[in-house]
Amino acid sequence: MSRVRVGSVELTHPVMTASGTAGHGAELAAYGELNSIGAVVVKSIASFEWAGNPAPRVHPIPQGMINAVGLQGLGVQHWIEHDLPAMAAVNATAVVSIWGRSVDEYQQAAQLLQDGLSSSPHRSTVVAVEVNLSCPNMHGHGIFAHDINMSAEVIAVCAGLELPLWAKLSPNTDQVVAVAQTVHEAGAEAVTLINTVVGMVLDPETGRPVLGNGGGGISGRAIHPVAVRTVFDVHAAIPELPIIGVGGVTSGWEAAELMLAGASAVQVGTATFADPRACFKIAGELSEWATRHGLTEVASLTGLAHRGGLSPS
Ligand SMILES: Cc1cc2nc3c(=O)[nH]c(=O)nc-3n(C[C@H](O)[C@H](O)[C@H](O)COP(=O)(O)O)c2cc1C
């Protein structure tokens, strides 16, 4: 009753982890059965090793946090050699998130991933690639997902991958519907909505930004209504495009809310920092919520808010 489809990908459950918020993935096995959630979306990786932004990189805010980690990581090759076998060993289903600073670098990441997976015994652990077009913390580089043509170009060069592509978009633009349409036409099977909301917090003692990068991305419950609205608007405009909803999900109801707005699946990010069991807990709560509301399939929640909502029981 909990299985869902995101385009061509079938998941055992709609709840997944969100990129960058669940360590390397395999650690989560200490807190729950990884085959009871849909997938673990790994931290975005590039074709090269990247140091990320200066510390401090994270700071709590009421109802969430602000971060400017800046995509620190050891790169695709390292992930295939070290993290993928560890994830396979704990029966995780992986979605690999990739990034780059140019169209060419996205293509290189996609190519390295393709080459590495084709010779890996763990290839079947990976079910999709999420192309991160929306990191707000890259000093000196704009957000790709704010540029319709650039977003389409990135997806087009990654479309040679044998795996389904999901495009992760930004809520920090009024162009999100147009970008979603364009990346879909360029080859993305689904869109992931949303990445963090740009923001800044100043230190009351120094009067300067608390984060080493200056600004950062806000996540957690504070942004949940932004995620619901973005998912709702994109689903209303492009109902045939599968959406993965993410942003401030801390309970089964908030996961259901994103599905009612139009998401086929949901990711849990910041809640995991407060409780490493969060995604397992939320997955259970979502299934219970659906049962309590008389739904035999969780998948039938998708887009119901556009069709009169839940029938009165
Ligand atoms: C510390 C941190 C690191 C993140 N790193 C990434 C990343 O590498 N790639 C990515 O696409 N999103 C990244 N995100 C964004 C999350 O995947 C998610 O889109 C966002 O936090 C909203 O969901 P949440 O409110 O449940 O955290 C990061 C978020 C946080 C808080």
268 CB near ligand 1 (under 6 Å): yes
Residue 312 is assigned to a structural domain of this protein? no
Q: Is residue 147 part of a domain?
A: yes
- pLDDT of residue 272 exceeding 70, the answer is yes
The pLDDT of residue 160: 85
In a domain, 90, yes or no: yes
Lowest mean pLDDT among 21-25, 95-99, 135-139, 296-300: 135-139
Q: What confidence tens digit (pLDDT) does each residue in 113-153 have? A: 999 999 999 999 999 999 999 987 665 668 889 999 999 99
For the Cβ of 57 lying below 6 angstroms from any atom of ligand 1, the answer is: no
Longest CA–CA separation in the chain, Å: 56
How many Cα atoms occupy the beta-carbon half-sphere of 140 within 13 Å?
5
Determine the average pLDDT of the residues in 191-205: 97
| Residue 65, in any domain of the structure | no
Atom 26 (ligand 1): residue with closest C-alpha?
A: 269
C-alpha to C-alpha distance for 219 and 224, rounded to whole angstroms: 8
pLDDT at position 29 over 90: yes
Structure tokens at 118: 């084709």
Say which CATH number the domain at 300 has.
3.20.20.70
Q: Judge whether 244 lies within some domain.
A: yes
Map tokens 């080459």 to a residue: 115
Whether residue 189 has pLDDT greater than 70:
yes
Which entry of 135, 210, 211, 243 is annotated as an active-site residue?
135
300 C-alpha vs ligand 1 centroid, how far in Å?
Answer: 27
Residues spanned by the domain of 239? 4-52+70-201+219-307
Give the model's pLDDT for residue 286.
98
Over the chain, what is the mean pLDDT? 95
Lowest mean pLDDT across 41-45, 107-111, 136-140, 222-226: 136-140
Task: Please state the domain count of the chain.
Answer: 1
Going from the Cα of 234 to the center of ligand 1, the distance in angstroms, rounded, reads: 20
Tokens of 204: 């009351």
DSSP string of 2-62, one letter each residue: --EEETTEEESSSEEEPTTSSTTSGGGGGTS-GGGSS-EEPPPB-SS-B--PPSP-EEEET
Find, among 228, 215, 310, 223, the residue nearest to 262 by Cα.
228
Element (H, E) at 97: strand 94-98
pLDDT of 83 reads: 96
Interatomic CA distance for residues 131 and 158, integer angstroms: 8
Tokens of 290: 């659906």
Whether 209 is covered by a domain: the verdict is no
Query: Which DSSP symbol is given to 235?
Result: H
Can 135 be counted among the known catalytic residues?
A: yes
> Ligand 1 in contact with 69 (CB < 6 A)?
yes
| Any domain includes 210 | no
Is 91 domain-assigned? Answer: yes
Alpha helix locations (H) across the chain? 76-78, 84-89, 103-118, 148-158, 176-186, 224-237, 252-261, 271-274, 278-292
Encode pLDDT of 51-85 as tens digits: 889 999 999 999 999 999 888 999 999 999 999 99
CA 70: distance to chain centroid? Answer: 16
Q: Is 92 in the pocket of ligand 1 (CB under 6 A)?
A: no
State residue 313's pLDDT score.
46
Question: In the predicted model, what is the mean pLDDT of residues 231-260?
Answer: 98
CA distance 308 to 154: 37
